[in-house]
Amino acid sequence: MRIQKGLLNSVLNNLLVVVLLLSTVSADAQETKTTTPQVPLVTEQMLLEAQDDVNNWLMYGRDYRSWRYSPLEQINTQNVKKLVPKWAFQTGVPYDKFECTPLVVNGVMYITTPNSHIFAVDARTGEEIWRYDYPLPDDMAICCGMVNRGAAIKDDKVFWVTLDAHLLALDAKTGTVLWDRVVGDHTNAESLTVAPLVVKDKVIVGMSGAEYGIRGSIDAFYADTGEQAWRFYTVPTKDEPGGDTWEGDSWLTGGGSAWVTGSYDPELNLVYWGTGNPAPDWNGDVRKGDNLYTDCIVALDADTGKLAWYFQATPHDVWDWDGVSEPVLIDMDVDGKPVKALVQVNRNGYFYVLDRTNGKFLYAKTYCEVTWSEGLDENGRPIVKPEAWTSEEGTIRVCPGVEGGKNWPPSAYNPQTNMLYFSVLEYCGSYHQDRVFYRKGLPYVGGGMTAEFDGGDRKMSGHISAIDISTGDIKWRHKTKFPNWAGCLTTAGGLVFSGDLEGKFMALDAKTGEVVWDFQTGSGVHAPPITYTVDGVQYIAIASGAVKYEEVNVRNGDTLYVFALFDEGK
């Protein structure tokens, strides 16, 4: 009996140890579970108040006005030199232009890649939570590289587009596909590269593919079901308003891509979207007329997609100056009167200010070298120099070049300085016109363009510029060695964040343009930065990754870097 009691005590002791161990494991598992970021429902109210949300980055332009301004000031001009990398996320997929604006929701970051992959990662550590790899078909025709600029979120769904023109809704917590809708015909070179915009109960996207002679559109789908709500064709039929601006049946292959995310005014219930070049790009003889609604800002009723107004910056474009740059919505004084304004840094070299209630032209100024126009008339229509039109008679030279003065990378507006910050490509180009015949799925450009070089001496350059929106005056410029492609972020900490093609990610003083901090990312920077907080810590994130350009030695490598202030206690 004595042995049995000892054995019993031993068993009981061992059981106690096992119970304690299980309790410890259970406690550890419970602790791990509670520290894993949990995505809350992103309500319509949260999207409307996105500008005031210092923790999250809920949409492409940060808020519906596309300011890309954060009220965060933990990182500022006084301490920015202490900024250090906290983690990096390498996508591990084939390299191309990494142009993503990540979303951040309650400590979860959503990252999209150029060739249709999407990741959810812990925004504090970069640890992968889930990924979804979309199977792309082999028979795609895509202009200008494989690209994706980001996702959108509403309720418990992440919305995301693919290169073969699908719009998907995924479960924000698991990455499970909830619905998948075909938006365009990829065999007709219709593709999607845009970050969707969620407005109320709808998800809005814009089509890409003008260089293949598509007929562009802006499309809205119901967020819950994926059913199509409306479609606005950026090129009207001959029987619709604007159809008389296309000679013959040229509207059928008229282009008009809408490949950059627009903005939204909840009070006016209008969505503002920039549209791209007509097709063929450089031969205007086969599409005589102004070619509406290409190279326009269009204002659409968010519920119906009906056109409220339009403003065309470059009628009958023969230089490929897509007018897709983000419309930035700012309430401001013009000639001493308050105006609900819309400002845009257009690819054609002009900075425009419009009344966003009706599209009325208020003023414009050039921000780079402009040689194609003698100026603008009272309605903002350019007065084109006769020698600037392309023809079969020879080559013409104009400034800016085909990529424009500013391409797609988004600007950022700081209400403290009243300045808009943006990257500029400062170079000219030589254009020639060719005969063209349309064939489905084949390039439809009607000519070509060469960036300007002279005996090996590089004439192209770039800069990050600050413009006073009240006057259109350039306040400062930070010159870069090559044309500048990176987007911008500005903060209440008195900073502007941007990058360059040589791989440098930098912080500049928002008032003076002085570079106050920089970091070499290892590849060219195309993307715009974002900022967010987790557990009271402010982070800055940037996607780095570019492809090699002519005469520009850009290294490949798609990596997302995240920075925070150095903490001596860790």
The per-residue pLDDT for range 143-179, each reduced to its tens digit, is: 877 899 999 999 999 999 999 999 999 999 999 999 9
Pairing of strands 489-491, 69-70: parallel
Three-state DSSP class for residue 219: strand
Secondary structure (3-state) at 272 = strand
Fold of 42-565: Methanol Dehydrogenase; Chain A (2.140.10)
Whether the predicted pLDDT of 562 surpasses 80: yes
Residue 48 C-alpha from the chain's centroid: 19
- Average pLDDT for 509-528: 96
pLDDT of residue 31: 33
pLDDT of residue 26: 33
413-416 LR contacts (CB < 8 Å, sep 24+): 413/65, 413/67, 413/68, 413/69, 413/328, 413/330, 413/343, 413/469, 413/490, 414/69, 414/490, 414/491, 414/496, 414/510, 415/67, 415/69, 416/492, 416/494, 416/510
Question: In the structure, what pLDDT confidence band is assigned to residue 224 with cuts at 50, 70 and 90?
Answer: very high
Residue-wise DSSP of 461-511: EEEEEEEETTT--EEEEEEESS------EEETTSEEEEE-TTSEEEEEETT
| Res 456 pLDDT > 60 | no
User: How many other C-beta atoms can be found within 10 angstroms of the C-beta atom of residue 34?
Assistant: 8
Taking 90 as the threshold, does the pLDDT of residue 394 lie above it? Answer: no
Q: Tell me: the pLDDT tens digits for 48-96?
A: 999 999 999 999 999 999 999 999 999 999 999 999 999 999 998 877 8
State whether residue 447 is helix, strand or coil: strand
- Give 260-297 pLDDT, tens digit per residue: 999 999 999 999 999 999 999 999 999 999 999 999 99
Distance CA 259, CA 165 (A): 12
Evaluate whether 331 touches 339 at the Cβ level (below 8 Å): yes
What is the token pair recorded at 70?
A: 């954060």
547 vs 24, higher pLDDT: 547
Angle among Cα 377, 232, 317 to the nearest 5 degrees reads 35
**Catalytic center residues:** 320
Percent of the chain with pLDDT over 90: 82
Q: Where are the domains of the chain?
A: 42-565
- Residues 350, 366 contacting (CB under 8 angstroms): yes
